[in-house]
Amino acid sequence: MDTKLSILGFAGSLRQGSYNRIILRAAQEMVPSGAELKIFDLAGIPPFNQDLENEPAEKVKEFKAAIRAADALLIATPEYNYSMPGVLKNALDSASRPYGDNALDGKPVAIMGASMGMLGTARAQYHLRQSCVFLNMYPLNSPEVMVAVAQEKVDGNGRLTDPKTRDKIAELLQALIVWARRLK
Ligand code: FNR
């Protein structure tokens, strides 16, 4: 029997009503039957301090273990000041250390993002892709999921309602599964 492909998703926003958390939950609703998507909350990962990298916080250990247990990752990034938020960068920095113990090494990853602006996190996503190079991750190139003007695509219950965006996320999940199976 084929085992399910396990995907770990996380959003670079801690905000309760976060659009990025909303699109991640939408992905969870739509994940194909051959896969499962668990969501990891980055809240509680402390600011990275290299002096303490050999005694990581419990939350960092938990994060690294969850990444290692997953076959693939799905990152939903907001855009802060034309880049990825510190919360996400800090989580990736924490998971990559100490040197030689990079939990992200060799992981297939799909990237998406939602913003209130017109470019839908494009600039943040390309900064994230740049970090993927040094982290030795394998980002999926296509489709790119950049959710612009996100406030017009969700309802009052925190659900993604825009059909085109939902289709695009479904397409991303399907492509990630093919990509992760190919790299396995
Ligand atoms: C923003 N926002 C924003 N939007 C954008 O399209 N480009 C940007 O560079 C920025 N910069 C930025 C900086 C900071 C500090 C904040 C708080 C916000 C707006 C951003 O898209 C909006 O707040 C989203 O709602 C953030 O994502 P979540 O929290 O909804 O997932």
Residue range 97-117, pLDDT digits in tens: 999 999 999 999 999 999 999
Average pLDDT over residues 56-80: 98
Average pLDDT over residues 7-18: 98
Model confidence band, residue 2 (pLDDT cutoffs 50, 70, 90): low
pLDDT at 147 over 80: yes
Ligand 1 atom 14: residue of nearest CA: 80
Model confidence band, residue 3 (pLDDT cutoffs 50, 70, 90): confident
Contacts of 68 (CB under 8 A, 6+ apart): 103
Report pLDDT digits (tens) over 28-47. Answer: 999 999 999 999 999 999 99
Give me the domains of the chain, ranges plus CATH numbers. Answer: 5-183 (3.40.50.360)
CB 81 near ligand 1, within 6 Å = yes
Ligand 1 atom 15: residue of nearest CA: 80
Report pLDDT digits (tens) over 109-143. Answer: 999 999 999 999 999 999 999 999 999 999 999 99
Give the three-class secondary structure for 90: helix
* Rounded Cα–Cα distance for residues 152 and 173 (Å): 23
Strands (E), the chain: 5-11, 35-39, 72-76, 108-114, 138-139, 145-147
Average pLDDT, the chain: 97
Start-to-end C-alpha separation, the chain:
17
pLDDT at 72 over 70: yes
Q: Please count the helices (runs of H) and the strands (runs of E) in the chain.
A: 5, 6
Q: Please, what's the b/e burial string for 126-159 (b: 16 or more CB within 10 A of its CB; e: otherwise)?
A: ebbbebbeebebbbbeeebbbbbebeebbeeeee
Average pLDDT over residues 16-26: 98
Give the chain's radius of gyration (CA, Å).
16
Task: Quote the percentage of the chain above a pLDDT of 70.
Answer: 99
CB 125 near ligand 1, within 6 Å = no
| Strand partners for 80 | 83
Pairing type for strands 72-76 and 35-39 reads: unpaired
CB 116 near ligand 1, within 6 Å = yes
If one residue of 79, 128, 153 were mutated to test the ligand 1 pocket, choosing by the most ligand atoms within 8 A of its CB, it would be: 79
The tokens of 175 are what? 């492509």
Average pLDDT over residues 75-90: 98
Q: Quote the Cα angle for 88-164-130, to 5°.
A: 30
Provide DSSP, 119-135.
Answer: STTHHHHHHHHHHHHHH
pLDDT at 1 over 90: no
